[in-house]
Amino acid sequence: MHEYKMQESGKEKRVRKRQEQRKKEQRDRIQFKIELEEFVNDGILLWLNGNISDPEQIIRAHLVEEENNYMRDYITDEKGGVKGLGFDKIDTKKNK
């Protein structure tokens, strides 16, 4: 007997790619949350745009404002140890 492979249509490929992208984004969010929770468990304060925050708020900000980028800012104490981690929104739009 011969095996026949059915080729995906263009639409099926796009749907499959979107599903794969969503799975990757979900994995990335979970990993990001774990990372942030580890900082909190180590006693490191989290900041979002200059305000004390928590992992959920930071993740939500990243999801809601996907078109914006956030810069990490490690806040150190006088001995050089990390005492805080800030996420500041970066304006990537150029004013003309």
Q: What is the dihedral of CA 69, 53, 55, 70, to 10 degrees?
A: 10
For residue 96, what pLDDT is reported? 42
pLDDT in tens, 24-33: 989 988 999 9
Does this model's pTM top 0.85? no
pLDDT the model gives residue 43: 95
pLDDT at 2: 55
In what order do the strands lie in the sheet containing 69-76?
51-53, 45-48, 82-90, 69-76
Token code pair at residue 63? 């999801």
Nearest to 88 by CA among 76, 74, 71: 71
User: How far apart, in Å, are the Cα atoms of 60 and each of 5, 40, 56, 64?
Assistant: 42, 17, 6, 6
For 82-86, what is the mean pLDDT? Answer: 95
Cα–Cα distance for residue pair 47/3, rounded to 1 Å: 57
Tens-digit pLDDT profile for residues 39-79 = 999 999 999 999 999 999 999 888 776 667 889 999 999 99
